[in-house]
Each structure stands twice: as structure tokens, then as C-alpha cells.
Structure 1
Amino acid sequence: MIMDSRNAEDRAMDGIAPRGRQAQPLSRRSFLVGSAVGLGALGLGGCKTSDGMLTADAAKLYGPVPQEKFPIPAVDVSKVDPKYYRRTVSYASKEAPGTIVVDPGQFYVYRIEGDGTATRYGANVGRDGFRWSGDAYVGRKSEWATWTPPKEMIKRQPEAAKYARGMPGGLDNPLGARTLHLYQNGAYTLYTIYASSDPESIGSGITSGCVGLLSQDMIHLYARTPVKTKVIVLPA
């Protein structure tokens, strides 16, 4: 059982405005918090990253997705630590193939492949005080989901009032291109695994408990994840 004493507003939000920055117009990044992680420039030629992936291959993996309803731009891979690039890794598990395991302490999400391996994705996770752990399942899936700010948020941030009836899907929507909505015992937990367009957030604890993957990674995971898939969130 996931134990969480926070109110629905905090749990529903994917994040809040960044700390230590001037107020920004309401946008996707307005719902993220924490310092940007500067990771230095990576060349896009034939050089290898520290863990062996060609930087050109990484740029291709995270290239633009123009066929989407809202075309997704390429990720600036220089802003992502190479250890968070999508990979197939050795991963011993007794869980059924397809099971999703979230490891917030390491900023990874794994999809169990059933042959001693897993597909590993880099992630952003809940910030201190907003993390949770336990078992859940994918109760619903959505593409370019509508996001609705809670009344408490509108009271605190009046500029959000224009979305009181829902922010349509799009690149600025906090839920992004794909969303896996997590449930327990038939009830929506208000937690999600969602698509992030902010490469600097990967490897950081910035959200109010939700888990974000780069849009290209989230599309990859979403396509392979049916409703009812088991999700395990490990303690941080």
C-alpha cells in the first residue's frame, strides 16, 4: 500500500515553479521545481560517451518525432547525463515480463523483459518530502492528456484559472505526449508516469511524486505497456 499524507492538489501536480527563479508565465516548466543540472556539452560526432554509446546514436535515439499530433523536437542530448540514455541492461527479477519497476533512488525506470534483462530509462522523480513507494498498476493510458489544475492551485496561482476546465494536450501541457495513470484497488492514485520535454530534469527529484521520462522514452514505454500492467515503486 502506498502511504501518502499529502493533499490531492500536491499529489496531482507534476511539480511547481522552480525554486530560486523569477516567476515564469504559466507553462510546462512552471510545474517543475529544482535547479537545472548542467552536464557539459557532448559532441554529436562519432565519439563515445563514458559508458560506450556513440553520441551520434544517442542523438538519433532522441531525435525529433514529427509524425505526432504535436510534433516533438529533438532532445538536446548534451543536457542529459549519458547514464540516463535508454538501454537494455542485465536485470535479475522474478517479476513477469512487462512489469515496470521505478527506482527513484537511482532515477531509473525499468521494463522487465523476462530473459534476465530489462529496458532501462532515465527519469525524474519526486522531490524530498513527495516520494512514495509501493505496488500499483496502470489503470488508464492517455495520449496528449488534458490537465486540470486543482482549485487550491488556482487560488495560489490565479494565472492557472484559465485552465480550470482543463489545459488541452500539447507540448506545454505538464503531462506531455503520453501518460500512464497509476491505480490501486480500482482507485486512481493521482500519480502518473508521464512524458517530459525537459532534458535537464532527468536524474533529478523535482516533481510532486510523479515520474517523468523523456518524451521519446515515454512513447517507447507506452507502446509496450497495456492497461493492468503491474508497477512497483521502490523506496528511495
Structure 2
Amino acid sequence: MSDTEASLVIPHSPRRIKLGNPGPLGLFSFASTTFILSLYNVNARGINTPNVVVGMAIFCGGLAQLLAGMWEFATGNTFGATAFSSYGAFWLSFATLLIPGSGIAAAYAASPNPSKEGDAIAIFLTAWMIVTFLFFIATLRKSIGLSVLFFCLTVTFMLLAVGDFQKSTSIHKSGGAFGIVTAFVAYYCGLAELLTEDDIFTIPLGKYNSRMA
């Protein structure tokens, strides 16, 4: 090929792949897992052992949210990536607490003071309450829907932690009730992200005043 012919060759440009919105996957996964566990926390149908949520926590709340978080990184959404990845890790770690093979519950059962397991779980929940509150602050420049979601989740973690610290069934059930509310807010936010202008209708997430954003 001559120099003249070489100069006419147009370099191949890689085809840009447009990513879909991973938000609905993360929100629906979070909402469904939270809804199931919260029903157990309020003793729905007399259920007081939450271990059935383990599979849901690993594959839906955990794996699906973790994947949504990774895809949010690809879209450039730092908030969504951090939030989904964090709560994916939360559900995976929470499921580990309930898996007999992990030995975590057995270690407390064999200790001189088995009741300290509740305090340990309360500390675990307190840490996530702090993380959730920080996410809530970040939502104050995003949308009202997300702010309501993270506010409700902060209160849910707080009530569950206090319930475990105080060994109070009523406070723990209150945390479960708030968790149900949180789940439905997450369902709403997920649907708002899923519906586009191409659909029959859309629902608002609510925007803050532009002077505040």
C-alpha cells in the first residue's frame, strides 16, 4: 500500500454500547427483600424465624443489587453505584448471620452470655443506620422520592437496633412496620425509574427547587 493510499484509510472507531438503567433492578431487589424480612419482623402469620429470607438476601437483595451497583458505575452514577453496591453487601452479610454453617449464631449460643448476640446484631444495624443517614444527606440534591426512601430506611435501622439493644419486641416490630413502608417507597421509586416517556404514563420522583440543587 502506498503512502497516499495509507492516508485514505479511516481508523476503525469502537462501537459505543448504550447501557440501560440499572436503577429499577436495584430498587426492586432491595424492596422485595426488605418487604419479606419486614413481614417476618412484625410476626406476620406468626412467623418469628426469618431464615427463609436467606436465599432472597443472597441472590436478590445481595447479588442483583451488587450487579446493579457495578452497572451504575459504568453509567457514571456514583451515588447509585455506591448505594446499590453497599446494600448488596449488606444483604450478603446479613444472610451470613442466618446461615447455620457460618457458625456465627452457634458461637453466641456456646458463649457464657448468649443474650449478647442481640447486642452484637444491634451494633451491626447501628453501623448501617449511620451509612444510610449519610446516603439520606446525599439525596437532598437529587429527588424527594429518594430522600423519603433513605429517611424511612434510616428510621427502620434505628428502631431495629434499639429493639435489639433493649430486648423490646414492640420496638422491633415497629422497625418491621417501618421496613414495610420503606419497601413500598422503594417499589414506587423503582417503578418511577422503570417507566419512560415511551410508556403509557410516568410517575414523578419529585424534584427539589432548582435554587437548592
TM-score scaled by structure 2? 0.24
More strand per residue: 1
Rg comparison, structure with higher value:
2
